[in-house]
Structure 1
Amino acid sequence: MGLSNNGALFLLLVCAAARAGAAAAFRDGPLLNGNFEQPPHRSQMNGSRVLGAHAIPYWTVTGFVEHIRSGAKEGDMVLAVPDGTHALRLGTGSTIQQQLSVTRGKHYSVTFSASRTCAQYEKLSVSVVPGDPPGELPIQTVYTSSGWDSYSWAFKATRGVVSFVVHHGDDDQLDDPACGPIVDNMAIRTLNVDPPHVGATTQHGNLLRNGDFEEGPYIAKGGSPWGVLVPPMNEDRVSPLPGWMVMASSKVVKYIDAEHFRVPHGSRAVELVAGLEVALVQEVATVPGSSCRLEFSVGDAADRCTAAPMSVQVATAGGSKTVAYNSAGTGGFARDALDFTAQHDRTRVVFYSTGYHTTSDSTGTLCGPVVDHVSLVCS
């Protein structure tokens, strides 16, 4: 039996409501229309500018937002997108948001790609509402030759339905209010905030969480050709790398996968791409006076990061060590260790690159030593 006219109209209205504003049921992977390939209706556009707040399926927008096509020209600049044919460009003071159906109390990491298009300062912040204050992403430094970087950001859900918000900052000194970053490939992943300890060498076990970095932000099936950047965070923030903090003022570390890079152990690792300006840190409970051994791998990601040597500084309150690795930029790693005596009931383990490196292909792509398979055992 077919639907009556009233029944068909009701079904269309329900579908339209779900398409425009209902909270998306959670699943690991891309957000609904997270690549913006579903365009606004032509009646909701003025050139590339989006006119209606709900014109983009599954998203709400405010301010100057453009739905752009790859290859479109703006003056002498050709706009490009990292995947597919469409993306969004966020003008000054603009916001995009999508409602998500999540589980209260769980931790999530959002990943998306962004590219700067202007010489002026661009400030991109992300948040969930309700939730903590927005976190600003350091998009001023470009880490790849393509101009596209993927960023991650994490949060703890305080409600079952939240709004994920991306905002391009307000600044009265900006020359062109329409100018701003291009964003694309929005995705989300549930984080296991207490991933299993790995690399234990004695019956006492590894004190570090997520020492192999297998738990981290979403990386699309098939990998990420440029990795995922993990921004700096204060100690109260949720980390996209459970167990670890990124300590810096405005620089990042790069989360890499075995699909596109060489990693020493498993399928994920961290590349220290910002030299002395950023440290990878984890704090654990220790017994003062206990004998501790910190083991770890240092290598290169097979991304043409050539340096002889490429050095990592490893430090705790009980001692420090500089580990040199001669990188040919083709992959490989060395295993090393730091023995020390715990000084306090809390011990911080710190890794940072002692130098600044770019790939040998003259593109200016930032790179650095890879850290992986870290374990701390005390007795």
Structure 2
Amino acid sequence: MNLGACSSSFSSKKMHRQIFLVSLLLIGPAFADLLQNSDFESPPSNLPKNSTTPFQQLNENSTIPGWSFEGTILYVTTTQTIALPGNGHALQLGQDGKINQTFNPIADYVDYLLTFTLAPGGQNCSTNANVGVSAPDSHSIFSFKQDYGKEGWETFGLYLGSWEQQEPINLVLESQSTESDANSTCWPLIDKLLLKTIETLVPGDNNLLLNGGFEYGPEFLSNSTEGVLLDPVPTAVLSPLRQWSITGTVKYIDSKHYFVPEGNAAVEFLSGVSASIQAATTLKDGSTYSLEFTLGDANDSCEGNFVVGAQAGSTAQNFTLQSNGTGSAKKLSLAFKADSTTTLISFVSYATTQTKDGVFCGPIVDNVVLRASQGMKSEIKWEVFIFLLFLVGIL
């Protein structure tokens, strides 16, 4: 036996395995159907036969495939007054209504992002459509906002958490209404849940910002033209828009239904002066950098004079775009010198705009690229190379 050849073959296989594992870390997003009956199309058991009402209350003998429930839960079918994003079925979380499902993580410490749809149970009662979403170590409350889209429902995205593979995760959705009337039709409707996983993001040598193109965020509904609303998140660690914290409300939009300057996704600012996103990155103090980005409109009939402030460390500048709402964009840049090792990059919208239909809208930002001056590029590439060698070593 040629031991040298055998050793060489083994080393080659090991190297190929390490390169493959590193490439998985570079890929980033993945999608897995981890939830059962996530659109509630498989009906509960023991439903009344030949019922003509769109709201059918479940009892103690009912079971929902894939889900457990407590409190008042109603199975809902589409009617002329209730529009649903799925194929015609949803659950209404009534008084003390709670549903939950346990799933198993597919890998250790990947990030889990949830997309779900929220709607009020009737007309003129949007203020009662409040839902709490919980997982281990996380809890968020979402409210139907109204005037953030043309449909009678809204889609939200959130960060659920990151756990070890062997740890069962219990996902809970429950009504958070202050309504005291147990017979009220205004309790929230839940439909169409999508659970997405994202691997660890690592820096590239062409952009010092992670997720500068906003490609890593919650999953989009295939049949929705409204995008995904992202509520305020004070820290990037817990943000569904990975690596970016959020102030106010922004809309995560896809290239299938909106104008997106580059790639598959972008961010649209909705709530005026309080809407902003912010990322932190480590730079070399005293060195010069260039922040490049694209400013535009989403082709959603949003007309107006958009003013967006860009800030990198202590350097700030306002940029203006006159929008006719048909999908326009221009590339802009901001040069600055890093005045600390940790530098904050932020974008804020200074205008509140609505379409002729009364829907809140605003400017979009995409393709944010942070580059070092020419003298720093070789140093940055070596840092990335050393980081990848470290990953190969521990694998």
Band the TM-score falls in, shorter-chain normalisation: 0.7 to 0.9
Looking at structure 1, the residues matched to 137 and 131 of structure 2 have their Cα atoms a distance apart, in angstroms, of 16
Q: Which residue of 1 aligns with 2:90?
A: 87
Q: Which residue of 2 aligns with 1:162?
A: 169
Question: For 1:123-138, what aligned pairs fall within 5 Å after superposition?
Answer: 123-128=130-135, 131-138=136-143
**1:275 matched to which residue of 2?**
272
User: Does the 8 Å contact 1:53/1:60 carry over to 2?
Assistant: no
Count of aligned positions: 333
Alignment partners' CA distance in 1, 2:280 and 2:129: 33
Task: Report the CA distance between 1:142 and its aligned residue.
Answer: 4.4
Give 1:20-35 correspondences, 5 Å limit.
28-29=32-33, 31-35=35-39
Residues of 2 paired with 1:140 and 1:177: CA distance? Answer: 23
Higher radius of gyration, 1 or 2: 2
The residue number in structure 1 matching 2:340 is 344
Shift of 1:112: 0.8
- Are positions 1:371 and 2:358 aligned together? no
Secondary structure of 2:63 counterpart: coil
- From 351, 355, 371, the equivalent of 2:351 is 355
Q: Which amino acid aligns with 1:365?
A: V
CA shift at 1:287, angstroms? 2.0
Distance 1:112 1:277 in 2: 24
Pairing partner for 1:181 from 181, 188, 212: 188
Check 1:313–1:223 CA distance in 2 against 1; reply closer, same or farther (3 A cut). Answer: farther
Q: Is 2:286 the counterpart of 1:292?
A: no
1:114 aligns with 2:115: no
Whole-angstrom CA distance in 1 between matches of 2:254 and 2:97: 33
What are structure 2's unaligned runs of at least 5 residues? 1-29, 374-395
Partner of 1:213: 214
State which drifts further: 117-126 or 227-236. 117-126
2:368 is aligned with what amino acid?
Answer: V
SS at match of 2:323: strand
What is the CA–CA distance in structure 2 between the aligned matches of 1:120 and 1:254, rounded to whole Å? 20
Residue pair 1:44, 1:55 contacting (<8 A) in 2 also = no
Partner of 1:333: 329
Local SS of the residue matching 1:134: strand
Shift of 1:137: 2.2
Cα distance between partner residues in 2 of 1:376 and 1:66 = 50
Q: Distance in 1 between matches of 2:61 and 2:288?
A: 60
The answer as to 2:65 corresponding to 1:68 is no
Matching residue of 2:246? 246
CA deviations over 1:284-309 (Å, ceiling 9, x no partner): 112221112110000011111111x2
Q: 1:177 to 1:168 in 2, by over 3 A?
A: farther
Q: Which residue of 1 aligns with 2:152?
A: 147
Tell me the amino acid that sits aligned with residue 268 of structure 2. Answer: E
SS at match of 2:238: coil
Describe the SS at the equivalent of 2:331: strand
- Report if the CA contact (8 A) 1:99-1:163 is conserved: yes
Provide the secondary structure at the position in 2 that maps to 1:42.
coil
TM-superposed deviation, 1:243: 1.3
Residues in 2 aligned to 1:143 and 1:345: alpha-carbon distance in whole angstroms: 38
- 1:342 and 1:66, CA in 2 relative to 1: closer, same or farther beyond 3 A? same
CA distance in 1, matches of 2:61, 2:31: 25
Given that 2:120 and 2:128 are in contact with CA atoms closer than 8 Å, whether structure 1 keeps it comes out as no
Q: Helix, strand or coil for the counterpart of 1:276?
A: helix
The equivalent of 1:104 in structure 2 is 108
Question: Could you list the per-position Cα deviations for residues 314-361 of structure 1 after superposition, in whole angstroms to 9, with x for gaps in the alignment?
Answer: 1233211111111111112000011111121111111121101112xx
**Pair 1:48 & 2:48 matched:** no
Query: What's the CA shift for 1:153?
Result: 1.0
**CA positional deviation for 1:147:** 2.4
Distance 1:192 1:330 in 2: 35
Please tell me whether the aligned partners of residues 309 and 348 of structure 2 are also in contact (alpha carbons under 8 angstroms).
Answer: yes
- Cα distance between partner residues in 2 of 1:54 and 1:94: 14
Q: How far is the alpha carbon of 1:120 from its aligned partner?
A: 4.2
Q: How far apart are residue 79 of structure 1 and its match? A: 2.0
TM-score by length of 1: 0.81
Structural RMSD (CA): 2.4
- TM-score (normalizing by structure 2): 0.78
Q: String of CA shifts for 1:212-255, please: whole Å, max 9, x gaps.
A: 111111124x46310011221132752212111112xxx32111
Q: How far off its partner does 1:43 sit?
A: 4.9
Shift of 1:58: 0.5
Q: Please give the secondary structure, in 2, of the residue aligned with 1:374.
A: strand
Whole-Å separation in 1 of the counterparts to 2:142 and 2:253 = 19
The unaligned stretches of length 5 or more in structure 1 are: 1-25, 73-77, 198-203
- The counterpart of 2:316, out of the listed 292, 315, 320, is 320
Opposite residue 233 of structure 1, the aligned amino acid is V
Q: Which residue of the partner structure matches residue 191 of structure 1?
A: 198
Partners of 1:311 and 1:269 in 2: CA distance: 17
